[in-house]
Amino acid sequence: MTNQTRTRRLGAAAVALMAAGAAGINAAQASPQDGTARYGHGAAGSGDPYFPYAGNGGYDVLHYDLDLRYAPPSDPAVLAGKLAGEATITLRATQDLNSLNFDLRGLNVTAVDVDGKDVNRGSGPSEWTQVQDDANRIWELTVGLRTKLKAGQEATITVDYGGATGRPEDTTGALYGWVTTADGAMVVNEPDGAPTWFPVNDDPEDKATYSFHITVPEGKTAVANGLSEGEPKTNAGWTTWTWEAADPMASYLATASVGDYTLTYAKGPHGLPIINAVDDGVAGADLAKTTAALALQPRMITFLSDLFGRYPFEAFGAIVDDDSVDYALETQTRPVYSGAADEATVVHELGHQWFGNDVSPADLKDIWLNEGWATYIEWLWAEHTGQATVAQQFTDTVAELDSKNLWGMNIADPGRDNLFAAEVYNRGAAALHALRAKVGTRRSLPEPGIGWNATATPRQQPQTLNR
Ligand code: ARG
Ligand code: ZN
């Protein structure tokens, strides 16, 4: 749901990759210039310099309806599951189009239809074709349109697809996307993992609403974003869980995690529904820590609402999985935690609902605006609950950054593989405290007044931020 056409923002890296003749995509399909033709091809990337082929140009997704059937690994020693999906994608063209792309990685398309009419497989202008190029990180489904779409027109495209699920890795080697686990799947997409489980315009600026129908073996629980819609329905050994996410959401914030979860329900301020899913495999000290942290959610929501305005979405909660992914993600309305949820992480992921999810940076290089705020919010909560003052946490953080000499990175453009570096989090939080408290550090901070979409060059000179 964005009003912009982003073909013109295609970054230099994308242009270079395309010029290099990235295998399998012909120039006409990939060209960022196509938008100028009377009827063009929606570009195969949406302009993020770090992930040139993530997202697509020429259209704006309004709604994803994802019908998934998932069989977790039959042999827990071999972490491979089976996923079959039908995605029904409602979109609006932002330019005249004779074809468009979705991102889809590692899964095979079996059928496509546009507004109820079958599209054939092939490389002709009104056919569909798939490119899977791991080396160049190009995973594209191109759909030719027999009836051209004019700018402003809507279309509904249905894609049937499926295949084996594994344990995808991001550019840093961390697990992400549809991560197959022994008892299900932990699904965390940041930054470009959504295409590992559905065809998508994987551009954080193209927010959309989602419906999820997730069918899993009877006894398993599937949890997605938003609110559950009716009771799960069981038929012939399979149970279908339906979730509706009515708040527009970036694709990296979607989840459809599957496990041996126990669901619990609570209420936050103003009756906000809180739905928690904790894996039965979480036990002992991890379970004690998790239960205590999740019990604080209503208080945390009240605290942050008082600071930043009303909680922005229709629901909240948590998914706590017993897996080895090893990090949490702020999946919209329902963060996912790995192994256990602790208090600092829960308030961090809650903070992201305001900073990152509701208000979002246009480009991934501005990630410090998510992570700096979420880390700063950990400091604010610790002060609020009498654990440590913000001033002390700032001082300690700066001392640690000093001792490890972590001031060299430009956190306003840290590089693709440093998106989740400690500097981005800690220097981001330190920058926000410095701006708020008008204290100087002797070290580089982003410019005061930096916008969500700005870059800043760190200063080499000592400075104060008083204005
Ligand atoms: N945004 C997440 C958090 O701060 C971290 C995501 C890390 N993702 C990754 N692919 N390494 O809670
Ligand atoms: Zn974070």
CATH number at residue 51: 2.60.40.1730
Q: How many CB atoms lie within 10 A of CB 439?
A: 16
Region 306-319: mean pLDDT is 96
- Asked, for residue 356, whether it belongs to a domain, the answer is no
Instruction: Kindly give, in sequence order, each residue whose CB lies less than 8 Å from that of residue 376, ignoring residues fewer than 6 positions away.
Output: 351, 428, 429, 432, 433
Task: Evaluate whether residue 292 is within a structural domain.
Answer: no
Residue 45, pLDDT score: 83
Q: How far apart are CA 245 and CA 259, in angstroms?
A: 20
In the structure encoding, which two tokens stand for residue 251, read together?
A: 């694709």
Find the mean pLDDT for residues 268-297: 98
Is residue 349 pLDDT above 60, yes or no?
yes
User: Would you say residue 252 lies in a domain?
Assistant: yes
Residue 150 lies in a domain: yes
Taking a C-beta distance cutoff of 8 angstroms, is the pair 411, 370 a contact? no
Q: Is the pLDDT of residue 308 over 50?
A: yes
Which residue's alpha carbon is nearest to atom 7 within ligand 1?
A: 420
| Tokens of residue 327, six digits | 């990090």
Looking at 13-17, 180-184, 368-372, 417-421, which range is the least confident one?
Answer: 13-17
Give distance in angstroms: CA of 70 to centre of ligand 2: 28
What's the pLDDT at 300? 98
DSSP string, 165-216: E---B-TTS-B-EEEEETTEEEEE-TTT-GGGTS-B---TT--EEEEEEEEE
- pLDDT mean across residues, the chain: 87
Lowest mean pLDDT among 5-9, 76-80, 435-439: 5-9
Which of 51, 175, 329 gets mutated to test ligand 1 (max ligand atoms within 8 A of its CB)? Answer: 329
Give me the mean pLDDT over the 135-139 stretch.
Answer: 93
Q: What is the pLDDT of residue 3?
A: 35
Residue having the nearest C-alpha atom to atom 5 of ligand 1? 329
Q: How far is the centre of ligand 2, averaged over its atoms, from the C-alpha of 330 (Å)?
A: 7
Per-residue model confidence as pLDDT tens digits over 259-282: 999 999 999 999 999 999 999 999
Q: Classify residue 116: in a domain, yes or no.
A: yes
Work out the end-to-end distance of the chain between its first and last CA atoms, rounded to an integer number of angstroms: 37
Tell me if 349 is assigned to some domain.
no
Beta-carbon contacts of residue 462 (< 8 Å; ≥ 6 apart): 440, 442
Cα 326 to middle of ligand 1, angstroms: 10
Report the DSSP beta bridge partners of residue 184.
181
Task: Work out the pLDDT band at 76, boundaries 50, 70, 90.
Answer: confident
Q: Is the separation of the CB atoms in 372 and 431 below 8 Å?
A: yes
Please tell me the number of the ligand nearest to residue 204's CA.
1
> Measuring CA to CA, which residue among 216, 58, 236 is closest to residue 152?
58
Q: How buried is 9 (Cβ within 10 angstroms: 0-12 exposed, 13-18 middle, 19+ buried)? A: buried
Percent of the chain with pLDDT over 90: 80
303-308 average pLDDT score: 94
Ligand 1 pocket by C-beta < 6 Å: which residues? 170, 172, 174, 176, 190, 327-330, 349, 371, 420
Element (H, E) at 19: helix 12-19
Q: State the pLDDT at residue 42.
A: 84
Residue type (1 letter), 67: D
What distance in Å separates the CA atoms of residue 16 and residue 319, rounded to the nearest whole number? 40
Closest atom, ligand 1, to C-alpha of 374: 4
Expressed in angstroms and rounded, the spacing between residue 129 Cα and the centre of ligand 2 is: 36
Determine which of 16-25, 127-136, 238-247, 435-444 has the lowest per-residue pLDDT on average. 16-25
Give per-residue burial for 346-383: e unless 16+ CB within 10 Å, then b.
Answer: bbbbbbbbbbbbbebbbbbbbbbbbbbbbbbbbbbbbe
Q: What pLDDT does residue 44 have?
A: 85
pLDDT tens sequence across 46-59: 878 899 899 999 99
pLDDT at 439: 64
In the predicted structure, residue 293 carries a pLDDT above the cut 60: yes
Question: How many angstroms is it from 312 CA to the middle of ligand 1?
Answer: 21
Number of domains in the chain: 1
Distance between CA 133 and CA 226 in Å, rounded?
Answer: 33
Q: Give the Å distances, CA to CA, from 8 to 11, 31, 208, 346.
A: 9, 11, 21, 38
Show the domain range for 69: 35-259
CA 352 – ligand 2 centroid, Å: 7
Mean pLDDT calculated for residue range 414-419: 96
Query: Residues 2-21: pLDDT tens digits?
Result: 533 332 233 333 323 232 22
CA of 345, closest atom in ligand 1: 12
Atom 6 in ligand 1: residue holding the nearest Cα: 329
Per-residue pLDDT band for 41 (boundaries 50, 70, 90) equals confident
Kindly report the protein residue whose alpha carbon is nearest to atom 11 of ligand 1.
Answer: 174
Residue 163 lies in a domain: yes
> How high is the pLDDT of residue 39?
65
Q: Distance from the CA of 227 to the center of ligand 2, in angstroms?
A: 23
Q: Are 131 and 138 in contact (CB under 8 A)?
A: yes
CA of 345 to the centre of ligand 2 (A): 8
Residue with CA closest to ligand 1 atom 3: 329
The first and second tokens of residue 247, run together, are 């708040």
Whether residue 123 contacts residue 180, with contact meaning beta carbons closer than 8 Å, is answered with no
- 454 pLDDT more than 70: no
The residue whose CA is least distant from atom 2 of ligand 1 is 329
**For the residues 371-375, what does the mean pLDDT come to?**
98
Which ligand sits nearest to residue 190's alpha carbon? Answer: 1
Which numbered ligand comes closest to the C-alpha of 371?
2
| CB neighbour list of residue 10: distance below 8 Å, 6 or more residues apart | 32, 43, 45, 46, 47, 52, 57
- Alpha helix locations (H) across 281-337? 284-295, 297-308
The ligand 1 atom nearest the CA atom of 172: 11
Q: 391, 395, 358, 387: which is closest to 374 by C-alpha?
A: 358
Q: Do 254 and 245 form a contact (C-beta atoms < 8 A)?
A: yes
What's residue 154's pLDDT? 98
Ligand 1, atom nearest to 170 Cα: 10
> Is 209 within a domain?
yes
